[in-house]
Structure 1
C-alpha cells in the first residue's frame, strides 16, 4: 500500500494535505514514509505535521552535515576556499530557515519552497566542487547521489524537471569551462544525462500516480463525509481512528474525543451478542451485520442505531474495520407506537366481536318474541274477533318490521364476522365455488327464472367459505336488481397485465347504477337509489371485506338501464410466492 488516505482532519476540522504554495499535492515519498511510521502505532496520522517535521529534519541534517563536508574526500582531490565559504553560507541558510519555521507563519506555511531552494544551492555547491576537483569520479558520484536524493522531495513534475535541467545544465557549463577538458569527459556527461532522464521518468511516474490517488482520495473522502450514516474506521485493537461528520452529530462527541475512544465504549450491543475484550473492546463489533443496538451519546442518553461492520485487509494483513451506524431512533419509536396501536386495535376487534355476538344474541330474543306475538295476535283476531282494515294493516306492519329487524341483526353479525374471522387459505377451485353458491340460491334462481353463464375458472389460494359467500352475494344482488325480463348473469375471469392478479367479473343485464353511487354502495347499509332496492344494503359491504381479506380490490362498472359488472381481484399463487421470498 504505497499511499494511505492522506486527506484527513485535525481536531479543529482543517484539512491536512501536504501543500506547496496554494496547490495541494500527494507527496510520492513522504507519504510512503509516513504510512510506514503510522502503521506501527495505533494513532490517527496527521500528514501536514509529519511533512513539516520532515522538512525541518532535512534543514537540520543539511546544517550539520555540510560543515563536516568541507574536508577533502581524497588526499589527492583538492578543495577550494570558495567551496568552503559556500558550504558555510548554505549551512547558515538552513539554520535561519529552521528558526523562522517556528517564528514566522509564512515560512512555516511555505517551508517546502525554502527546502527546494536549499536543493538548488546544494547542486550549485556540488558542481563547484566537481569543477575544482577536475571531474574526479568520487566527486561525480557524490553529485549524482545528492541529486537523486533531492529529486525524491519534489511533488510536481514541472518542478522536478526544472531542478533536473538546472542540475545537469550547470554541470555542462562547468565542463565547458574546464581548463583541460578531455574528450572522455563529454562521454561521462552523456551518461549522467541518461541518469537524469531515468530519474525524471521514475520519480515522475510516482508523482503522476500520486496525483491520481489524490483525486480518488478526494472522491472517497467526499463520499465518506457526505453519507447520511455515521461511519468510523476502527483499528485492529478496537480503537476509533477516523470518523465522519455524521458520526460526530449522532454521538454528540467532538471529533478528537471520538478518536481517543474504543468502539466498545460507544456501541452497546445486545447482551446476547456482547463479548467484551481489553479496554472495553467488543469483539462482536467486527462481525456485526445490520445489528440493532444502542449508542451511548456524550450526554449519557442512548439512541437506537443499526450497526454494520466489515474487516479491511491487505495481503492477509488486518488493517482494521469499517463500521457504519444508521440512526433508527425515530423508526424504533414509530415501531413501538404501531405495536401499541396494533395491540389496542386487536383488543378493540375482540371487544367488537364479543359485542356483536352478545348484541345479536340479546336482540334476536325480543325480536323473535315480538314477531311471535304479532303473528298470534293477527291469527286470533282473524278467527274470533274480526277487526277493521286499519288494525289488520298495523299488525302486518308490526310483523313485517320484526322480520326485517331479525334480518338486519343477522346481516350485522355476518358483516362483523367477515372482518374478524380467521382466513383459512387453500387451493380452491372457483368452478366448485360458483356451483355451491348456485346450489344455496337454487330456489331464488328458479323463482326469478335467472340464467347463469359461467366460463372455466381457475384455482385460487383463498378461504373457500368466504369465496362462496362472495359469489353468492354477487349473484343475489344481480337477481334482486333485475329488470322486467329474466336476469342473465355471466361469470368470467382474466389476468392483469403483469399476470400477478386474477380479475373476476360478475356481469348482469339489470337496471344498472348511477355513477355517483359507485363508491357509496360498498358501505354498510348503503343501497343505490332504485325502485328495486329491496335489500338491506349489506351484501356488497360484506363482499368488500372478503376481497380485502384476500389482499384484493373490488369495483364496478355500470350503465344505467343496461346492467352492471362487478369486478374483484385475487393475487395469483406465483405473485404470492414472490412476495413471500422478497419479504
Structure 2
C-alpha cells in the first residue's frame, strides 16, 4: 500500500478538501466521472462521521498494487468511531465501494475503503511518485486550503527540525568529548552532556562563574580570552590548553578549540567549540623533555623485565618441583617408612628375647628415626598442600573448630592431663579444614612444650576490633626467649633440642602459612620458664567483601 496524500479533518472545509482530493485520485487512476463521484461520496460519508465525533481524525489516500487486483484506498483514522452515527455513515459508504476493512488498536479505529481500478496504463512506483508530486504542487482552490497547506508544511518542517535537533544531541552526547557553542558575548548557548557529567556544573552556573571554579588558576588568564568578545571578534579558529577540574577535584589537561559560525554576509553569529582530554599526551610530553632519562628508564625496565621473567621461571620450576615432591612424599617415601615401622615393631615384639641389648638399642633408635621421618613427611606434605587453589571459603563457626581440634588432640590432652579453657568465638569467613589445623598445631605446641612437673593449662580467648578477630593462645609452659621470635615461624626452625621435645620444626610454619592465606597475621610473646602466648588476627569477612 502506497500513501499518496493526507488530509487532517478538523472542520467542514476539510470535508470539501477530502472530497476534492478523493475525486482527484480517482481521476488519476482512470475512473469515469460517475465512479469518481461514487468513491468520493463514500469517503465523505465516513469522513463526516469522523468529524462529528469531535476526536482527532485524518484521511490518507493510498494506492494498493500489492495484489493482482488494483485499488485506490481511503483510510480514515479516528480515536472513537463506535457511535450509531458512525455506523450509519459506514453502512452508506460500504454500499459504494468494492470492499472495506475495520481495524481497532487501543482507542483508535481505522476504516479502509477499497475501490477497484483497471487503468489502461501501468501503475508502478514511478507513476505513484508522479501522483504524489501532483498532489503536492496542485494549486489551492481556496485561501483556507492554502493556509492549511502552509500550516501542514510548517508542522512537517517543525517535526523535521525537532528530529534533527534530537539526532544532533544524540550524536554529540555519544561522542567522547565536550561539544558546546558560545554567543558573541562569550556565554554558553549549548553543551552536550559531557560538560556537566565531567564538571558537575550546569550551563547557567558556568556562565555566572565565568568558568573560574573549574579552570586552573595558572591557565585561566589565557582561557578568559575565549570569553572576551573584543579580542575574539575578528579571529578564525582559536585553540588553547588548560587544566579543567572534574567532579572529584582533580585537574586534567584539555585542549579547547573554537571556530566562528558566520552568516552569508560574514557577520559572526556564534562560536562552535569542543573540549578534548589530552592529559595522557601532556604526561608524555613532560616525560619526553628529558630523553636521556627516558632511555635509561626504558633500559632499566627491560632489565627488570628480564630479571622478573627469570624469577618467574625459577618460581614456576620451584613450584613444579614442590608438586613433584608432594607426590613423591605422599606415595614413594611414606611406604618405605611404614615398612620400617612395621618390621621394627614386629622384631621388637617377636625377637626381643634373641637380640642383645646393643641390638635392641639400635632397633629402638631405628624405630624412633622412622617415627620422626613419618612425621616430617606428613608435615611437609601438609605444608605443600596449603595454597590458594585449595581454599574453600565458607562461614566457619570457630567454636566448632576449637572443639574439633580438642577432640583430635584428645589422647595428648589426657596423657598430659591438660586443661583447655575457651571463651566464645565468632563466625568468620574461612577454610574450615585449614582453621582446624591452625588450632590443632597451636594447642599441640602448648601441650608439647609444657613443664614436666606441671599439667599444661591453655587459655584461648578472643576479641573483635575493626572487622578482625584476635585470638590469643596463652599457656603455662616452658616459654621461650623473644630474641628467637623472627625464626620461630620459619621452616625447620627449632628452639629446643630434639631429645628434650620431639618435633619437625614445621608446625608454626604451617600456622603462619594458613594465617597468611586467610589475609591475617600471627605473632607471639613469652619468657623462658613463664609460658608463651600466640596471637592470631583474622578478618571476619572474606577479603574484598
* TM-score (normalizing by structure 2): 0.48
Which protein has the bigger helix share?
1
Q: TM-score, normalised by structure 1?
A: 0.45
Q: Which has the higher strand share?
A: 2
